[in-house]
Structure 1
Amino acid sequence: MENENHTGLTQFYFHPLSPRREMQLLIFMAFLLMYVVSLCGNSAITLIVCTDHSLHTPMYFFLANLAALEVFYSSSIAPLTLANLLSGRKATISLVGCGTQMFFFIFLGGAECVLLAVMALDRYVAICNPLRYTLIMSWKVCVCLAAGSLGLGSLFALQFTTLLFHQSFCDTSEINHFYCDVMPVLRLVCGNTKSLEAIIFAATSITLTVPFLMICISYFFIVAAILQIHSAAGRHRATSTCSSHLTIVLLQYGCAIFTYCHTSSTYSPEQGQVVSVVYTFVTPLVNPLIYSMRNKELKDAFSRVLGRKFSLKSSLLSKIVFCHTY
């Protein structure tokens, strides 16, 4: 414990994604493109669901919440990462800033995991108990479930952040990552961290396992119900809505389990960075694409919104031309 420097440590350093300046700029352009597209896509889904009354159903309410979470989740990491890549200097972050970033991405990521379980429950009720769907999934229940996912996400974040940032950090303050993730920061803690690792591993396992088990159980009954549907159109509709959700579940939980369900001794910084790029930049990018390509109602609503905008613009243009002429 001779090297502990918790009270004197005021900032961390991020290990660069590449030592070459040309590669840093190339990574910056790729990350910027993915971030902008994901912002536009997820913001569009949120706005369309809010403005189109035909989408004011529990399924789209939860989808809009998921899209909004993706916007804030990627924004908790991407802007600082992009700024560090563009500057080309050795990037730093304060101790408080590191803890704040960790809190928000765990909070938003945890809320997403719980919300995906809520969405699976919503699909279970819609497919397995359609006659009582509107009664069970009332707006009061939907709001409580969405608020509950945020509440659990904040509890996860508070637990992990408080536990980690009450430790003593060594003199080596370089984080071998492009943001303040749990495992890279844990590797900077001084002394024997086995008990701390065990607590984090157990908490992470419970945090990920319980919602994932709920999703698996829901889909077990959903698949059984789909197999009993005689109509090909009804079977296709049920399968298409569930397949979009299931694809996002596999991406989200696959990356989270690969990253967090192991100890620091088995953690690979290089593999961790690759997986982190997937769930911080790629997953928020593909989520709106997966839902928009497979969902006819969402595409029709998007066309209606665009149609109204173009109609309004053409109407205003006609009035301007008329006034100018006369």
Structure 2
Amino acid sequence: MSSNFILIFIIISCLLLSSTPSIAYPVKINVLNNATDPAGRRRFDKELGKEYTVKILTEEIIPFIWKTFNQPTDASRKYVPNVGFIVKTLTDGAMAEIGEDNIYYNDIAIRDLPAGQEQAKFFFKSVVYHEATHIYQFNGKGTAPGGLTEGIADYVMVKSKVYNPEGYTKPGEGSKWDEGYGVTTRFLEYCDSLKPGFTPTLNNKMKDVFKEDYFQELIGKPLAQLWREYKAKYRKIILDGSFWEWLVRQEQNEGEREGEGEKPVSPIGFQRVIPVSEKLFRVPIPVGVEVQSDEPISNVKA
């Protein structure tokens, strides 16, 4: 074997290793099915299972989180070598949530996943992307706004493309930058358009503390100005499209709203009625969105 061939082989190997983060330190996933809902327990075991859950976390989701955050080395990553994944009934009504280094997935949500194994896996994986990001993201040791950390968790999910784009938040929606979930995700994407790599850089700067000054430092504009300019960019789109949907909805519900004493919904964040099947496809449902179902999962959050 020639020396040139060996040199080329080494170079290619190094490039492959550097471009695709891997589980460098061993991450152990401990999966427990503690479901008390019989249908949820059976469905997890039959259509998802422990082996599948470990596989997507170690081979897909965790490496993707590190890649998205631009964390190619152990030193740049949040060190979490043990992750628990527990299926159980969540009495607070959440679809899924984390506690310490554990992901808790509601057995009722698993029971109500869309029919068909492939669809169930897709919905399931979408939620796990969001929750796993919470475990491996930085949050300024608790100083970052909760809406920002939720937005970054959704940001990774959206980047993975394991979500429903048709049912997801559109650019320009929302009333404040740290409203969370899709609203914050879309704002972070806007910041990325001004400064490529902004969001992963912001995450990595929050290893010890969060500061609003990071926006000024990285983009050259204060946070309040960025939000105003973001809203202005999409205002025409909202007024030309979503506003009319909102206006029709207000007229249809005027009598009901007057009877219940509700305040009108902002045209920027108009209400939408979506079915439970879409709710499971989109995590989580923002405040103010109604859910049509005979047996809704109430107070959905992540």
- Same fold by TM-score, threshold 0.5 exceeded? no
Higher relative contact order (CA 8 A, sep 6+): 1
Structure in which a larger fraction of residues adopt strand: 2
- The structure with the largest alpha-carbon Rg is 1
Structure 1 length-normalised TM: 0.27
Structure 2 length-normalised TM: 0.29
